[in-house]
Structure 1
Amino acid sequence: MRRTLIRGGVAVLLALTGAVAAPGAPVHAASRCNQPEPPPSCNGGGDPDPSPVDSPPLGAFDAMTFVGNGVNVAGWAADADTSGPLLVDIWIDDAFAKTLTANTYRPDVAAVYPSFGAYRGYDAFVPSRNGAHTVCAWAINVTPPGATPLSHRQLGCKTYDVPVATNIQSFYDSTAGRWMIGFDDNVLGETSFEVRWDYYILQTIPGSSIKIASPQTLTYTLPAHDGTGRVSLPGTRPINATKLTITAPGFGSASTTALY
């Protein structure tokens, strides 16, 4: 009779507290997931999610052409960390020149990297001067939130050496009956061209019949030429000319041709 009463009392106590004792489960087990620092079992357990990783940009510096007071540069750039177009910085002789946006149509890029799509190219004019220069392209890295940033990526460098004038000629125009100077003008915005002739005159040594060549120079200016391209202008040519030099004041470059 006493055991029956005890069992009945326990049953009543469990009913009042709302606790259900599952077979084999400890009665004291209770949830702690609402505490400030829950145990691992409350957050799913296992290792935490890995930190974001920065992917390096990809691309290339494909082509460069000097087009008169500047260069046209072309290539492509993309970064797996962004769906938008990448920025490309152009540097000339270690000095920043211009920022381009890689958003022109390049189906060849999409053929190799389908996830990037076809609009990943850059093709633009960048102001530059004639003479000898080095042009470099840099893809600007995009870093996802929380990742350690990588460096920007150099896509390549190209050099050029373009004087003020090339393909210089001195020829006689029999129709006009005068000497002409012809050359390819490679600059824009010149105010004039300076012509320098190197020539010689023969001088007799006093008291003898021996002649020696005495070096001389002749300089004058020619008017500016609109745009770039082939120029043919009349100009004085001295007898016994040996070299013709063309410069454009302010552009710091010259071109010469030897005459025989």
Structure 2
Amino acid sequence: MRKIFARTGVAVLLALTGAVAASGAPAHAASLCDRPEPPPSCNGGGGEDPDPGPVDTAPRGAFDTMTFVGNGVHVTGWAADIDTGGPLLVDIYVDGAFTRTLTANTYRPDVAAVYPYFGAYRGYDAFVPSGHGAHTVCAWVINVAPAGATPLPNRQLGCKSYDVPAVANIKSSYANGQWTIAFDDNVVGETGFQVRWDYYVLSTIPGTHQQWPSYRYLTYTLPAHAGTGRVSVPAPYGRPANTTKLTVTAPGSGSASTTDVY
């Protein structure tokens, strides 16, 4: 029994000694790259990751308002880019065609209140040529990229559409013994306005009490009106009896406005 215990004790001692030697020998070679934060040696041995370099940031802005003003539109908005301290350029397109470049450098304290780092002089407020009728106006801000960065594309700030006839809101009224024609003039540079009254005259069929209408019209020209706005002028020939329609046209402007009169 003593020999058996002696042999067993020696075996256990050898096993423990070998375990210590085995755990101590290769400890320096154990991999640490599966830990949550691998050391630099796990990144290819080059130390820290290389600097990615400058990065472009997209510009910001808005296309706030558009108002038709006769021979064009009045547009307002703002634009800014954190990549530059200078004003940005804004291109305006009418029906997809480039029309004008604006500079976003007008005073906009509301922009500075929301984006203090942009400052207050980031607005654009200007006239852009455009005709009457139906049109779509779009604004694009020109992106500015820092040196060495891959530039992002220009950004559309929005589009707005309008449909304004050359002449609109025709009215005829009678006051102080005089008929007056009033209408909205939406064009600039017209040569005059063509007025047409459509009316009818009743005739009695001979030998009967029956009447039948004979349709006629009266036309004449009113002088041009400076600028745009509401026009109110006396009707030089009055309003014919039994008038059914009043039409005012701006010759050469490609549109007219008609009012049915009963």
Q: Report TM bin, short chain.
A: 0.7 to 0.9
1:63-96 deviations in Å (ceiling 9; x for gaps): 1111221111111111122111111111111111
Q: Is the 8 A contact 1:164 1:186 kept in 2?
A: yes
State the secondary structure of the residue aligned to 1:110: helix
Runs of at least 5 residues in structure 1 that lack an aligned partner in the other structure: 1-43
Please give the root-mean-square deviation of Cα atoms over the aligned residues, in Å.
2.0
Q: Which residue of 2 aligns with 1:258?
A: 260
Displacement, 1:178?
3.4
Q: Is the 8 A contact 1:129 1:251 kept in 2?
A: no
Q: Which residue of 1 aligns with 2:56?
A: 54
Go from structure 1 to structure 2 and tell me whether the alpha carbon gap of 1:153 and 1:208 turns closer, same or farther (over 3 Å shift). farther
Go from structure 1 to structure 2 and tell me whether the alpha carbon gap of 1:207 and 1:51 turns closer, same or farther (over 3 Å shift). farther
Displacement, 1:205?
5.6
Segment drifting more, 203-212 vs 232-241: 203-212
Count of equivalent residues: 215
Q: Which residue of 2 aligns with 1:247?
A: 249
Q: Normalising by the residue count of structure 1, what TM-score does the alignment of the two structures yield?
A: 0.75
State the secondary structure of the residue aligned to 2:113: helix
User: Following the alignment from structure 1 to structure 2, what is the Cα–Cα distance between the partners of residues 129 and 167?
Assistant: 18
Go from structure 1 to structure 2 and tell me whether the alpha carbon gap of 1:204 and 1:107 turns closer, same or farther (over 3 Å shift). same
Displacement, 1:149?
2.2
Q: Structure 1 residue 238 and structure 2 residue 240: aligned?
A: yes
Displacement, 1:187?
1.9
Query: In structure 1, what residue type is equivalent to 2:190?
Result: E
1:154-192 deviations in Å (ceiling 9; x for gaps): 111111122222332212342xx4322112222221111
Q: Which residue of 2 aligns with 1:138?
A: 140
Runs of at least 5 residues in structure 2 that lack an aligned partner in the other structure: 1-45
Go from structure 1 to structure 2 and tell me whether the alpha carbon gap of 1:206 and 1:90 turns closer, same or farther (over 3 Å shift). farther
Superposed, 1:110-149 pairs within 5 Å as 110-149=112-151
Q: Which residue of 2 aligns with 1:188?
A: 188
User: Following the alignment from structure 2 to structure 1, what is the Cα–Cα distance between the partners of residues 57 and 189?
Assistant: 44
1:129-158 deviations in Å (ceiling 9; x for gaps): 112211111111112222222221111111
Go from structure 1 to structure 2 and tell me whether the alpha carbon gap of 1:123 and 1:212 turns closer, same or farther (over 3 Å shift). same
User: Following the alignment from structure 1 to structure 2, what is the Cα–Cα distance between the partners of residues 91 and 132?
Assistant: 14
State the secondary structure of the residue aligned to 1:179: strand
Query: In structure 1, what residue type is equivalent to 2:64?
Result: D
Query: In structure 2, what residue type is equivalent to 1:99?
Result: T
User: Following the alignment from structure 2 to structure 1, what is the Cα–Cα distance between the partners of residues 206 and 154?
Assistant: 73
User: Following the alignment from structure 2 to structure 1, what is the Cα–Cα distance between the partners of residues 227 and 141?
Assistant: 32
Q: Which residue of 1 aligns with 2:216?
A: 216
Go from structure 1 to structure 2 and tell me whether the alpha carbon gap of 1:205 and 1:86 turns closer, same or farther (over 3 Å shift). farther
Calculate percent identity across the aligned residue pairs: 73
Q: Which residue of 2 aligns with 1:30?
A: none
Q: 1:96 aligns with which of 95, 98, 113?
A: 98
Go from structure 1 to structure 2 and tell me whether the alpha carbon gap of 1:50 and 1:67 turns closer, same or farther (over 3 Å shift). same
Superposed, 1:8-87 pairs within 5 Å as 45-87=47-89
Go from structure 1 to structure 2 and tell me whether the alpha carbon gap of 1:203 and 1:154 turns closer, same or farther (over 3 Å shift). farther
Query: In structure 2, what residue type is equivalent to 1:103?
Result: N
Segment drifting more, 219-228 vs 194-203: 194-203
Query: In structure 2, what residue type is equivalent to 1:61?
Result: F
